[in-house]
Every structure is written in structure tokens, then in C-alpha cells.
Chains A and B, each alone.
Chain A
Amino acid sequence: MNPSQFDTTTLWQQRFQRYIKESMGYWQYAARSNFLGFLLFLVIISSYYYANVLQRLPTNYPYIWIALLLLVPPLAASSIRTLLRQADRMFLLRIEHDMSAYFRKALTYSFTLQICWTLIAGIVLWPLYHHCTGDAAPPVWLMIALLLLVKVANLLGSWQESRFVDERWRRGSVIFRWLGTISAVYLQFQVNLLWASGTVLLLILIWLAMSRAIDRFLIGWDYLIQKEKQQQARLYAFFNWFTDVPQLGTRITRRSWISGVTTWIPFKQDATYLYLYTATLLRTELFAIVMRVTLIGGIAILVSSSDPVRAVIFGVTLLITIFQMSGLARAHRYTFWLEMYPLNVNAKPSALAFIIWYVLLAQTCVLAIPLLIRSSPIYVLVPIAGLAFVSFISRIVLKRKFQAAVLRESQ
């Protein structure tokens, strides 16, 4: 194929269709999990309270802070979804001169999406703004036009940043855009539209003048691909609330404050599995999940109003943690190193069961504190029963389950 005839519009369309199809699949999971219902519920409740608060709010309320908080992020954050892939740096590099149609499509998509977010923020802000300014408010369409201008400037600025060779210039430009957006929104709501639009135009000119001398790539492949990966990972992380997203991979966090506990493990051959799975737990997302569950459980126990409810929350928190922790056995399923080591494979179930038991023990102790603060002394029986329960589940039930899995794998 003649490279110059390669149709990058079609390429964008293909990728975009695949992207939408994949996202739709995950949105279905989200819908099935009643997330959308919950969202609707949240919208109704909060608009009720919003209307209530507005009635009592004095008209001289300094609403500018809320305006800044609502409008600046959707206006200034202008990452571009390019749907690029790692291999593009190799295969599309030779036609990078002819890629403008592709990136124009990408910019249009990002613009549409981000202007929707901005408008939603504007709609949320509008009643408050109207309440505070009354009839003194300038025409809506002029305000929207200025917001559009700021958004377009930010997006085009973000595109140019992606081409900068020097990372420091890029960072400088990002800071410039954010500060510029803050001043634009501030002037628009606090002074007047004329000042705001004048400043925006002036800032655009300053940016153009300053960026003229900056070295640029034709296309900043590495940066764009890295950004694209980050954005997709964020989207996957969101979908991961509702279903298992295989593309997400394992996210590793160092957690130096706790990962040092592996040094307490005796330096002995028997302790190899214990060492590996302890480090795995501490570095993966599972640890964060257990921490969150414990925190939420603890707070729920502290604020709930009756003793039996607290006991139930205690039990449910332990159950959720048991369920989550049993996933630790799935780590390193496909690591062939574990088959290489001169180790007795039966040591693995014991090590896993021990780690799970230990985590549950710690959680039981932590949750006992708010429970005993709030409940009558007889409720000391709850943590004791919990201890017996988690010991039984981890040391007997789960251990047997893991042993059966080891047996299956070795056949």
C-alpha cells in the first residue's frame, strides 16, 4: 500500500467503534449493578437539598469558590483521548505527516466529551449563580460562548504540549493553562464578561508568543501513548468496581511503611511461600481493599445506633474480608518459578491460610475497639466469636480448599 493513501479517518473510526463497543459492554455491567439507579437516586436527593439550601442562602454568599471548584477542572483538564497503541509508534511513524485527520477526530471527540462535563458543571452552578446575582446576570449564551472559547484554547494548548520535546516546558504550560483558566472563571463571575474575554485573548496571545521558540515533535508519540494508557487504565479501574476487568493487570504499590514486615519472616526454606505471598498481599490492590473495608466497617460500627446492628456490621465486615482475601490464592497461578523451586507444594496452602488468618485476626482486633467503645460489656463476646469463626474458616475451610487446588494443579 502506498503510505500516503492510508486513510487515517477510517483508522480512527475503526478504533473508536471498538472502543465504544468495549466500553458499552462494561457499562452494561455497571447498569446491572444498579449503579445507574444509585446515581439517579443521588441526583434526586441532592437536588432536593440544593433547592432547600438555596431558599435559605443569603444573596451575598461568596459563590465564586463553588464556581471555581465546579468549572475550572472540566475546563483546564484537557487530556486528549487518542486511542493510540504502543505499536503505533512503529507502524504509524512513517505516515505521521498524514495523521492530521486522525488527530482532528480525536480532538473533536475529546472536545465533545469535555464540553458536556463543563455544561453539566454549568447547569449545577446556574441556580446558585442566578440566586446570587438575580437579574444582573449577563446573557447565558455569552457566558457559554466564553466557556467554549476557554475550553477550545485549553484543548489546543494541551495538544501543543503533547508535542513539546522538553518535559519542563510541558509542565510550565500546564500550570499556565490552569492559572489562566482560574483567572478567566474568576473574572467572568466576579468582574464582568468584557474583562474576562479580554484577559482570555491576552493570555492566548502570551502563550502563543512564549511557545513559539519551543522545540516540538511533529507528533509526541511517547507522551500521547503514555497518556492514552493512563486514561484507559482509569476507565478500567472505574469499570473494575462492577466486574473483573482482565486488561487492568496488577497494580503494584511499594507501601514502604508496611512492606518491611517481610523482614520479620524467618530466613528459612519453609517460609518461602509465606514470604512471597506476604509481599504479594502488601504490594497489590488487595491490601488497599482490606484497609478500606476495615475503615468503612469501623466507622459504620462507630456511628450506628444499636448494639445488634453493630454486631451485624462486625460480622459482615469479616465476611467481606474473608471473601476478598481468599483471592490471594489466585496470585502467581501462572508463575512457573513456583514449579521450579525445590519446595513441598503442600506448604503453599498452609502459608496462604496463615496469612489470611493473620489479616482477619488483626481486623477483628481493630474492629473490636469501636464496638467495645459503643456497646455494653457483654458484646465482648462478638469479637471472641469472630475470632473463633475466622480461625475456623481460614485454618480449616480455606486451607482445605487451597489443598484441593494444589492437588488439581499437580495432576
Chain B
Amino acid sequence: MVPILQIDSLFGGYLPGKPVLHNLSFAIRQGEMLGLIGLNGAGKSTTIKNILGLLRPQKGSIQVNGLTLAEEPIPYRAAYAYVPESPELYEELTIKEHLELTAMAYGLSKDEYLSRSASLLEEFQMKDKLNSFASQLSKGMKQKVMIMNAFLIEPALYIIDEPFLGLDPLAIRSLLELMVTMKRKGASFLISSHILSTIEKYCDNFVVLHKGHMVAQGGLGELRIQTGLQQASLDDIFYHLVQDAGR
């Protein structure tokens, strides 16, 4: 079976000849949750931008569902939903209109839109904010809108950049529950986060980036073997890896 996301020897960055990412290769299979971890500036956002097509790979290839962006842009884009690190909303639209626009853009039927948005609004306690504008919402609420937009589409792949910051405890719980539900239905996740204790519990595999290089990859067990730290938490393993690579 074709992996939902396949990255092969990716070099990428902002300036030609000066790649930020060096030879990145990993894959996410159907129903798999992968945690992308690294320090600030390690290349997590650059990786995500390359997948989204906001940056073009300098070398190597990225395939979503076996398709590249250049060859099949529309099915490529339809396959994933993205939750950005800092919420970006249209100033001109109300929350309801954001959801409607997303539903239209991803070709949902009106019935699908209505039933899914109703349960998401309930879950994230945003019903009374339906007619608010972005400027009237707190950062956490904006983040909820981004999350609702992503889960409304029910795509094959979710790309989520630092999802927990700014969310209240109830919303974090709702988000994690939704992630588990969608995962059971066969969706895959790429999650970039610094909250290692949380993603340790939820992710199947991890990719550890350091200064644009992949310093480790695999499940928690494999990372323990790689580092020789039995019983260690992801936090300890990460610290060990980054310290090692720093030397």
C-alpha cells in the first residue's frame, strides 16, 4: 500500500544553494501518527512548508497519496488538512462563514457540512461564537476555529503544527479525542510539537530533527535502542539526542 506521505532525500530551504533541510526521508502510512520534534530552528516548519507547497523542494521528492504537487495539484491538496502554528483567519468572514468556505473548497455536500460542523461546534464549545469575526476572538478560540476547519474536511492526512498552545484544557482533551477517533477511521497525522509528554502517548513514530538533519527516527522502542536509554521518556531521549548531535 502506498504511504499517505512519502518524503525522499529532501533538501529544502529559503535560499537556493543554502538548504535548511538536509537529506530528509520518512514516510507516514495510513492510520499512523508521526511526531516531528526538534528545537526551535531545527527545520520542522520548513519541512511542513515543503509538504504544503509553500516552499519548493531543492532536491528530493514529496508525495502525498503517491502524487506530487507539481503533477497533480488538486488531488494532492485535497488529501490533507493543515492547522498552522499561529491561527490565520479571514478578517472579513464570521466563524460560520469560515466553516462554510472550507466545506465548499473541499467539496463537502451541504448535509455533510451541517452535521460535521454541528458536532465540532458542540465539541469545542464555539456555538455562541458562530457569528463573531476573527478580531473578536482570543488566540485560543482562533486556534479552535483552525482545528474545526481541519476536522471538518476529514482528510486522509492531518498536518498539525504545535496544536496545543493557547488551547484550554477542555479543548486539548477534545482535540486529542478527535485525533484518536479519526486515526481509528484510518486517518494519518503529522504533528509538530514541543509538548513531548503528550505526543509520546499518542504518536506511533517520531522523527527527530536537529539543525536540519534527521538524527533519529522510529517508534519509542526503537529510539530507546538507538540511544541505549532503556525505559527513558521521549523527553530524556530527545535531550540525549540533541546533546549528542550538538557535540
Contact = CB atoms under 8 A, between A and B. Distances in A.
A254 B135 CA distance: 12
A136 B3 CA distance: 96
B128 interface: no
10 contacts: A250-B92, A252-B91, A267-B104, A272-B105, A280-B92, A336-B88, A339-B54, A342-B75, A342-B78, A344-B74
B26 interface: no
A340 B77 contact: yes
Interface string A139-172: 0000000000000000000000000000000000
A336 B54 contact: yes
Given A252-B135, A262-B97, A339-B54, A279 B104 contact: no
B100 interface: yes
Interface string B105-136: 11101100100000000000000000001010
Contact of B90 (A262, A272, A335, A341): A335
Chain A contact patch, size range:
20 to 34
Interface of A: 250, 252, 254, 262, 267-269, 271-272, 275-276, 279-280, 283-284, 331-332, 335-337, 339-344
B138 to A, nearest CB: 16
A134 to B, nearest CB: 57
Contacts of A342: 73-78, 105-107
B92 A341 contact: no
B140 interface: no
A278 B91 CA distance: 14
Interface residues of B, number: 28
Q: For the complex of A and B, list the 4 residue pairs with the smallest distance between their C-beta atoms, beginning with the closest.
A: A342-B78, A342-B77, A341-B105, A269-B107
Interface centre among B75, B82, B101, B135 (most CB of A within 10 A): B101
Contacts of B113: 267
Contacts of B110: 267
Nearest to B149: A337
Interface in B176-190: none
Interface in B56-97: 73-78, 82, 88, 90-93, 97
